[in-house]
A = this chain, B = another copy of it.
């Protein structure tokens, strides 16, 4: 007969409760937490226990404390924070390559599993890309282009893929921006997006793969 060793420390219980409050957005990002005294009463633990829990989450990247001011919610995902730290120490080229690998997989899966709602969202993003290109607004185009690709990843209907893609994209924004404005072939890119959207709309997996491979090839050329 096994003992279940169900013993869970108070600190871990408090950590779990706070994590849950953050994930469920009862404490949204940017929100200031109640002071330690109130939290002690709310969770029914001592100051030490509470502080150990809060510090665990600070180190995980979910919270941020400032002496004299308070504690605020910084991120809702521990993985995101750990990812950011790891990426900082990684080679930029390596990171971009992995991101493109995710993008390639996402395009195929989007073509396979897309819903009407996801397709509509992709088409909206494509229109915004074209509008920005027409205005020759480079900054806006870069943002719209990134949003477009995120929409495709979302259409893959794979939550983990979507999470990883966003965690890898956001900290790379400035790098992606720099690479994209090296030479933006506006008309060309617009066509690529159009063909890709067509392939996803018609659930043409082969076509999606083909055009994403072209896009990735062009992107890698600039590295």
Contact = CB atoms under 8 A, between A and B. Distances in A.
Contact of A90 (B86, B87, B159): B159
A77 B158 CA distance: 25
A45 interface: no
Total copies of the chain: 2
Nearest to A52: B55
B159 A91 contact: yes
Interface residues of A, number: 42
A124 interface: no
Contacts of A97: 105, 109, 158, 161
Interface in A37-90: 48, 51-53, 55-60, 67, 77-79, 81-83, 85-87, 90
Nearest to A109: B97
A114 interface: no
A98 interface: yes
B82 A160 contact: no
Nearest to A54: B52
Contact of A160 (B12, B90, B105, B109): B90
Given A81-B82, A87-B160, A97-B161, 15 more contacts: A48-B48, A48-B51, A55-B55, A57-B59, A59-B59, A60-B60, A60-B82, A77-B86, A82-B82, A86-B163, A94-B158, A97-B158, A98-B102, A98-B161, A101-B105
18 contacts: A52-B52, A56-B59, A59-B60, A86-B160, A86-B163, A87-B160, A90-B159, A90-B160, A91-B158, A94-B159, A94-B160, A94-B161, A95-B160, A97-B158, A98-B105, A98-B164, A101-B104, A104-B105
